[in-house]
Each structure stands twice: as C-alpha cells, then as structure tokens.
C-alpha cells in the first residue's frame, strides 16, 4: 500500500483539470490512480455523445458484501466565468484557502474522501465510490448510467453519502437529508390575430393567459411539513411575441417552475395544473419537464452516524435541511437511503471559488470517522 495522498494536494491536482461539463480533462484518471493505489477496483464508464457527452464516470469498490457504504460525487464543474483574481484552473493557496473552480463544488470533497479511504484501508463489507462527470449538466449520461450499471450487476449499497457542499456558515453546521423536486412548465394560449380597432374579428389570448396566471397564483399547493417548506409555483416568463401596437397577437405564452416537497409527485402536479388551465381555456397547451422528484431520508442510522462523526471532529451538531436546488441525490435515493454532507457552500459556482485548507483536512478526518462507523 502506498502512502495516503494529502487531500489538499489531491484537490489541487483535480482543479488543474479543466473538467467543465461534460469534459473530463484527466480528472477521472487522477482519481482512478489514487483509488487503485488504495486497493480499489476501478471501472471507468464512458457514455453518450455530443453535445451532452461523452461523459466519463467512475465506479470503484474495495471489499466484499455488506454493509456497503457508497460515497457519491462529481468531478465536473460549471464554467469559470469572467473576473477571477487568478486563473480558475491553476489551483492557488491564498490566505489559508485553496482557490480554483471546483474547490468547493466539489473536487476537494472527493479528494477528502479518497484520502480518508486511503488512510483507513482495513474494513469489513464494501466501500465504493460513485463519481460522475455530468452533475452540473443535464445528468443524462452521469449518475443514471452509474445506477443502471449497478442494477445490471445487482449491486446495492446500504447507505450513500453524497459529498456536495451542504455546510452554510461553518463546516458541519448542515446535512441535507432530502431535496425538493422541480418541474418546469410552458403554457401556450392560442388566439386569433387581428387589428386592435376591430376586436370583434380577433380573439386576444393575453387576458386569457392573465386569468390563468392569476388562478395559478391563488393555488395553494400545500403548507409544508416537518421536513419541507411549502411547495411553490413561480411564473418565470410571459410573452406574446408582438411588437406592433395595433395588432392583437395570435399567441400568448407563459413559463413557470414549481419547487415541490415530498407531498407531491411531479406528474400529479402537471395533471392538476393542466386541469386548472383547461377550466379557463380548453384550447391552451401545456408542456412540461420534470427535473427531479422530491425525496426525504428520515432520521436513522445514516443521519445519526454522519452527525456523530461531524460532532466528534467539529463539536457542532448539524441541522438537517431539505433546502436548496436539486442534486444527484435525487437519482441515488432510488438505490438506498442517501444524505449529503460537505464543505461550506458560500462560493460555489462563483468567481474566486475557494475552500478553507483547514476545512478540507477536517472534512477528510470526518470522512474517515464515517467510514469507520459504518465499516469498522
Ligand atoms: Zn455539486
């Protein structure tokens, strides 16, 4: 067995790979090498084609049978954007922070867990890594492909920790034990085009759309529950594609998003919305795209063991939260109970993204205690 890598060094090597979704730029090979050196069997799974692919994913195992703890994460990053103080893909350490695209979301987390697994090598059961190269993109060829690969081989982890940056102010203050679901919808209301001076010969779709929106605004989806805030519908755009001041347009369109809690399924919300729209204008058309269903992992072994490892190292008692956007946990929850825990997320996706060097080291110690508590 070789010497365990330092998590900050490993994170820096990963940041130097320009793995903007769906590119990999060598990140998977760096992880594969480190994991093989720590005794893991590594499978690289390349799927899909342009424009959303090809995507390389990594699946690695060490040990046999149960209990089986899986660590899930991603090595892709969002584009750097303009205005960085230093090159986003040249990792720099400044004032105690590792700076670079992916430092927070989430190359340092992956590195911290690989380093932990490299230090803690003798364990029972199975430890696995499920790393996707397509979390920040449409995820078509990422985690769903990993899950399919596992299903084909009847491999089922008992618990999954997703290393997304969930801490809000300080490392260890927040675990995510669920996520809201999300559905986008588009409503098209047809009318009959005509001259504004002859409204009897036309049919204006705009007031109809306004009535639909007003009805949707009054729709109380739920009042939330123990884990979730109330589900929420937001109209995000309306347009009629009409620049002329003397024309009644032939079409009015609205776009909206619903962030929903585990009291709903995406399809059920789409159905209810279609009924409400049809009651006002039967000719209106509704299109939709469900980006993810809501899920919650109730308090249990997973939340308790991860919380205990956090408290042991930081003295903090993490709160459980379901706030924020969606993550790949929405897919992994189909495999087994899943929670998310990682670094402070203040600078993720931003210019000058940075992670505290001390936090990365501490996260790696927490990770080691998590492995110990499940597989020790
Ligand atoms: Zn992420």
Q: Could you tell me what percentage of the chain is helix, strand and coil, using 3-state DSSP and rounding each to the nearest 5?
A: 30, 25, 40
Q: Which fold has domain 181-292?
A: Alpha-Beta Plaits (3.30.70)
Share of the chain above pLDDT 70, in %: 99
pLDDT for 1 beyond 60: no
Q: Is 136 annotated as a binding residue?
A: yes
> For residue 55, what is the enclosing H or E element?
strand 55-63
Lookup result for tokens 């009629």: 240
Integer distance in angstroms from the first to the last C-alpha of the chain? 19
CA distance linking residue 177 with residue 175, whole number of Å: 6
CA 42 to chain centre: 24
Q: Which residues of 74-89 are buried (b: 16+ CB within 10 A; e: fewer)?
A: bbbbbebeeebeeebb
Query: 263 C-alpha to center of ligand 1: Å?
Result: 25
User: What is the pTM assigned to this prediction?
Assistant: 0.89
- CB-based neighbours (< 5 A) of ligand 1, an ion: 105-106, 164
Q: Provide the mean pLDDT of the chain.
A: 96
> For residue 132, what is the enclosing H or E element?
strand 126-132
Q: What is the mean pLDDT of residues 215-233?
A: 96
pLDDT of residue 14: 98
SS (H, E, C) 86-103: CCCCCCEEECCEEECCCH
Cα diameter, the chain: 84
Query: 137 C-alpha to center of ligand 1: Å?
Result: 10
CA distance linking residue 121 with residue 100, whole number of Å: 30
Condensed to tens digits (0 to 9), the pLDDT of residues 19-28 reads 999 999 999 9
Q: Is 369 annotated as a binding residue?
A: no
Condensed to tens digits (0 to 9), the pLDDT of residues 321-347 reads 998 888 899 999 999 999 999 999 999
Query: 165 C-alpha to center of ligand 1: Å?
Result: 7
List CB contacts of 358: < 8 A, sequence separation 6 or more: 96
Q: Is 74 annotated as a binding residue?
A: yes
Query: 105 C-alpha to center of ligand 1: Å?
Result: 5
pLDDT of residue 70: 98
Catalytic residue IDs: 76, 135
Instruction: Compute the chain's Rg from CA coordinates.
Output: 24
pLDDT of residue 347: 95
pLDDT for 236 beyond 80: yes
pLDDT of residue 2: 67
Condensed to tens digits (0 to 9), the pLDDT of residues 251-298 reads 999 999 999 999 999 999 999 999 999 999 999 999 999 988 999 999
Looking at 3.40.1440.60, 3.40.50.720, 3.40.630.10, 2.60.120.260, the CATH number of the domain 7-179+294-375 comes to: 3.40.630.10
Q: Is 359 annotated as a binding residue?
A: no
DSSP string of 195-247?
ETT-GGG-B-HHHHHHHHHHHHHT-------SS-PPPEEEEEEEE-----TTE
Q: Domain segments of the chain: what residues?
A: 7-179+294-375, 181-292
CA distance linking residue 120 with residue 38, whole number of Å: 9
Query: 162 C-alpha to center of ligand 1: Å?
Result: 9
Q: Is 304 annotated as a binding residue?
A: no
Distances 49 to 54, 55, 79 between C-alpha atoms, Å: 5, 8, 20
**How wide is the angle at C-alpha 340 spanned by C-alphas 155 and 298, nearest 5°?**
80
pLDDT of residue 75: 97
Give the other-Cβ count within 10 Å of 170's Cβ.
12
Q: DSSP 3-state assignment of 368? A: helix
Q: What is the mean pLDDT of residues 141-168?
A: 97
């Amino acid at each position: 067995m070789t010497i365990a890598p330092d998590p900050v060094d490993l994170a820096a090597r990963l940041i130097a790979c320009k793995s903007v979704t769906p590119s990999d730029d060598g990140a998977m090979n760096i992880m594969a090498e480190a994991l093989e050196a720590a005794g893991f069997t590594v499978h690289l799974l390349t799927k899909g084609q342009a424009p959303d692919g090809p995507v390389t994913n990594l699946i690695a195992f060490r040990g046999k049978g149960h209990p089986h703890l899986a660590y899930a994460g991603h090595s892709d990053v969002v584009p750097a954007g303009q205005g960085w103080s230093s090159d986003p893909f040249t990792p720099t350490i400044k004032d105690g922070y590792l700076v670079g695209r992916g430092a927070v979301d989430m190359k340092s987390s992956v590195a911290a867990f690989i380093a932990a697994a490299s230090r803690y090598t003798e364990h029972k059961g199975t430890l696995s890594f499920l790393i996707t190269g397509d979390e920040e993109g449409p995820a078509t060829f990422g985690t769903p492909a990993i899950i399919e690969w596992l299903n084909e081989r009847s491999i089922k982890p008992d618990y999954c920790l997703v290393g997304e940056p969930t801490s809000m102010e300080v490392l260890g203050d927040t675990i995510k034990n669920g996520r809201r679901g999300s559905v986008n919808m588009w409503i098209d209301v047809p009318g009959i085009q005509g001259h504004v001076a002859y409204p009897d010969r036309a049919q204006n779709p705009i007031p109809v759309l306004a009535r639909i929106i007003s009805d949707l605004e009054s729709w109380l989806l739920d009042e939330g529950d123990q884990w979730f805030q109330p589900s929420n519908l937001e109209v995000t755009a309306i347009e009629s594609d009409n620049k002329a001041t003397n024309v009644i347009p032939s079409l009015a369109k609205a776009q909206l998003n619903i962030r929903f809690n585990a009291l709903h399924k995406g399809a059920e919300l789409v159905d209810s919305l279609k009924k409400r729209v049809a009651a006002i204008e039967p000719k209106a058309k509704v299109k939709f795209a469900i980006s993810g269903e809501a899920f919650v992992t109730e308090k249990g072994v997973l939340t308790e063991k991860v919380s205990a490892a956090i408290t042991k190292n930081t003295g903090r008692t993490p709160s459980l939260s379901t706030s924020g956007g969606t993550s790949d946990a929405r897919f992994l929850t189909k495999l087994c109970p899943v929670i998310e825990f990682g670094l402070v997320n203040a600078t993720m996706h931003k210019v000058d993204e940075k992670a505290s060097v001390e936090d990365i080291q501490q996260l790696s110690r927490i990770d080691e205690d998590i492995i110990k508590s499940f597989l020790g």
